[in-house]
Amino acid sequence: MTGEPLVRVRDLGKVFRSRASGFLVPPLETKAVDGVSFDIARGETLGLVGESGCGKTTTGRMVVRLLDPSMGSIRFDGAEISGLAGKALRDLRRDLQIVFQDPMSSLNPRMTAGELIVEPLVVHGVGDNASRQKRLRELIDIVGLLPHHAARFPHEFSGGQRQRIGIARALALSPRFLVLDEAVSALDVSIQAQILNLLQDLRAELSLTYLFISHDLGVIRFICDRVAVMYLGEIVEIADRAALFAAPRHPYTQALLASIPEVGVGKRRFQPLTGDVPSASNPPPGCRFNTRCPHVMDVCRSVRPKLAAVGAGHEAACHLLGPAHQTGPAG
């Protein structure tokens, strides 16, 4: 990447604290995200992939400030936004938006599609009724809906159409950056392809930048320029799409790729994963992947590896790749 990235995240973390369950029992702390760093260039789509519960959604929601980070820095277009509140945060919403996984649960069932799409304009006091209706017609057209759809309620649409409404709503304020949180995972495969093509077209036409969150490597491979792989709250590998899929360096990434069904392929190069992700409230010491890694060494159980370069624009955090990946003892 060249030039200042549109989004720059450094050492981002989120700790959730539960209430104490008894007088002598302290509150439980869960590090959902622990020291995540990445950049997203203008016009780029960065994919964030990993198993359920690894912290992908929490990361995305912190980046658009739907969640307050517990630590770290988030810079948007050169300005620090991690501590914004009040009017400053409200104004930021016009530039940063999110599209959720389940459009039915994120759309008010008592509002028509037209009301849902123009609601951000109303909330932010943008334009008058005439200009909002004009903007509504533009948005309905750009996401592939028809004019008469504006008068219908969410339950009258298919899943793909509801997601188009969610996308139109997110675009209402002309943002520059979208977080797409499992935006196609609830859709049939044929509808997924339509929505992914729509997102590709919108990115080019509107000069958008995406953080695309998914557990589906096939979807990630189709739409993303670069890919960051998360495991138990950490990024363990980040690289250009082609490099990551052709030559993954971290054992976790290799195992994820081994899980992709391939027709007509013989013996796979990598072993698929066994076992479950450990609890984020009690992660293993050292490398968090050490309880499932087929190549685990003694150092993996005591020393936490850090991201280090393994190629041009390619970083991974693994002791197998050399001493540059060590940070010292860590729990």
Q: Which of helix, strand or coil describes residue 13? A: strand
> Distances from the Cα of 226 to the Cαs of 75, 105, 314, in angstroms?
19, 30, 10
Identify the residue with better confidence: 264 or 90: 90
Question: What is the pLDDT confidence band of residue 3, given thresholds at 50, 70 and 90?
Answer: confident
Is residue 306 within 8 A of residue 236, CB to CB? The reply is no
Is residue 64 within 8 A of residue 40, CB to CB? The reply is no
Instruction: Provide CATH 3.40.50.300 ranges for the chain.
Output: 7-18+28-95+176-261+269-329
> Distances from the Cα of 302 to the Cαs of 34, 329, 331, in angstroms?
17, 6, 8
Q: Which of 104-108, 125-129, 141-145, 229-233 has the lowest mean pLDDT?
A: 104-108
Average pLDDT over the chain, rounded to an integer:
90
Mean pLDDT computed over 159-181: 96
Asked if the model's pLDDT at residue 323 lies above 70, the reply is no
Asked if the model's pLDDT at residue 70 lies above 60, the reply is yes
Interatomic CA distance for residues 222 and 180, integer angstroms: 14
Asked if the model's pLDDT at residue 106 lies above 70, the reply is yes
Asked if the model's pLDDT at residue 94 lies above 70, the reply is yes
| Helices and strands: H and E segment counts in the chain | 10, 14
**Model pLDDT for residues 304-322, shown as the tens digit of each residue:** 999 999 999 999 999 998 7
pLDDT for the residue numbered 103: 76
CATH superfamily of 7-18+28-95+176-261+269-329: P-loop containing nucleotide triphosphate hydrolases (3.40.50.300)
Question: What is the pLDDT confidence band of residue 35, given thresholds at 50, 70 and 90?
Answer: very high
pLDDT for the residue numbered 302: 94
Q: Which of 20-24, 57-61, 259-263 has the lowest mean pLDDT?
A: 20-24
Alpha carbons within 13 A on the beta-carbon side of 174: 6
pLDDT > 70 fraction of the chain, expressed in percent and rounded:
91
Q: pTM to 2 decimals?
A: 0.91
Interatomic CA distance for residues 28 and 18, integer angstroms: 5
Nearest to 38 by CA among 292, 257, 236, 219: 236
Identify the residue with better confidence: 330 or 118: 118
Asked if the model's pLDDT at residue 289 lies above 90, the reply is yes
Is residue 188 within 8 A of residue 159, CB to CB? The reply is yes
Residue with tokens 């008010």: 108
pLDDT > 90 fraction of the chain, expressed in percent and rounded:
76
Question: What is the pLDDT confidence band of residue 331, given thresholds at 50, 70 and 90?
Answer: very low
